[in-house]
Amino acid sequence: MAVATASTSEWFVVRSRCPACDHPDSTTILCQDYNDPAIRDYLTWFYSQQGPGIEPTYLSGAEYKLEECAGCGLIYQEQVPGDELMVRLYETWIDSDLAWQRHINKPRTPSFFGGYARDLLRLHQFLGARPYQLQVLDFGMGWGNWCQMAHGFGCSVHGVEVSQARIDHARRHGIPVLTHDRIADHQFDFIHTEQVFEHIPSPRNTLATLVSSLRPGGVIQLSVPNGTDIRSRLDSMDWRAPKGSLLCINAVAPLEHINCFNHHSLVALAASQGLKPIRSLACGPRASRHQRILNALRRLRDAITGRWKRSTFLFFQSPGEWTPASS
C-alpha cells in the first residue's frame, strides 16, 4: 500500500486506506487533536519515563484518529509519524541508554526463556529438522534475546532492527544483522516477529517482503497486542491503566501502536500473502502420539472457550512442502 504524504502536519503521513488489506472504506471511531489535554498529558507522562520527553512542536497540527477497516476490521491510526519523526521518537524521545538499563534490570524468570526454548523445540519437530538445518530470522529483534536462544540451539540466525544501539549490541554478541533491503537476499525456514507489526506503517508491504524470503513450507510467527475488545475499553479513555488490566488501551497507544489487530484482521493480513494459520506447532505431521492426544484436547478446549479465535499469537505456514536446504 502506498502511504500518502499529505497531512495536517509536516511530520506525519496519512494512511487513506487500510494498511493491512488495502480496503478503501473505514469508520472513524475516535478523533482527537494531539494538543488535547488527555493525549498531551499521557504522552508527556509516558515519554518522560523513557528519556527527555516529547517535543510538542512535532505534534502540532496532527490528529490522533482511529479508523476501523470495513474489510478486515483492523483498527489503525490514520495519521502516523513519518520517517524523520519515527527516528526522533525511537532514538531521542526514547533514550537507548535508559532502555538498556530497563532491559537488564527487568526480572527474567526461567519461564521467560523457557517459552523461547519450547517454541524452538516444537518448530524443529514440526518441520522434522535438525537445528543446524534451519535458517531463522528475528524481525524486530530488540536486544536479541530470541536470537541468542536460537543460536544456542544451533540455528543459523539473522536479525533485523532499526535501533542502532540494539544493532550494535547484537553485533557485539555475534548476531549478523540485515538491513531491510537485504532480507530478500536470503531464504529462511522460520521468521520470528514479536510485538512488531503493531508499529509498522505498512504491515501488508512488510509482510510481503518477509514472505518473499520464506522457503516453501516455512513458518512465520506473528505476535501482536490483542485488540479484540478495544472499542469497549475506549469508553474509559484511561491511558494510564496498567497493561493487562480490563481498562488497558495500550493496544492503540498514540504514535507507537499504530495498528490494532484482532484475530480476524491478523489472519486476513496473513492470508493476503498466501499464508495459512497453524493451530499449533505441536500438531505437525511428525508429532508423537502423546502430542497428538494433547493437541486434540487443546482443540476441544478451544472449541469450548473460543480461545484460539481470540488469539493474536499465531503461526503461519507458506505454501509447499518444506525440505531442508542441506543435510
Distance CA 289, CA 295 (A): 10
Domains held by the chain: number: 2
Distance CA 68, CA 218 (A): 31
| CATH number, domain with residue 195 | 3.40.50.150
Residue 45's CB is within 10 A of a number of other CB atoms, namely 12
Distance CA 268, CA 74 (A): 10
Is residue 42 domain-shared with residue 133, that is, in the same domain? no
Is residue 211 domain-shared with residue 117, that is, in the same domain? yes
Residue 60's CB is within 10 A of a number of other CB atoms, namely 14
Residue 94's CB is within 10 A of a number of other CB atoms, namely 17
pLDDT in tens, the chain (327 residues): 334 444 458 999 999 999 999 999 999 999 999 999 999 999 999 999 999 999 999 999 999 999 999 999 999 999 999 999 999 999 899 998 898 898 888 887 778 888 889 889 989 989 999 989 999 999 999 999 999 999 999 999 999 999 999 999 999 999 999 999 999 999 999 999 999 999 999 999 999 999 999 999 999 999 999 999 999 999 988 999 998 888 999 999 999 999 999 999 999 999 999 999 998 776 555 555 555 555 554 554 455 555 556 789 999 999 999 998 865
Give the residue carrying C-alpha cell 531464504.
Answer: 187
Is residue 192 domain-shared with residue 118, that is, in the same domain? yes
* Identity of residue 130: R
Tell me the per-residue pLDDT of 89-133, one tens digit each, with 9 for 90 and over.
998 999 988 988 988 888 877 788 888 898 899 899 899 999 899
Distance CA 76, CA 30 (A): 11
pTM: 0.89
Instruction: Note down the domain range covering 255.
Output: 1-106+225-260
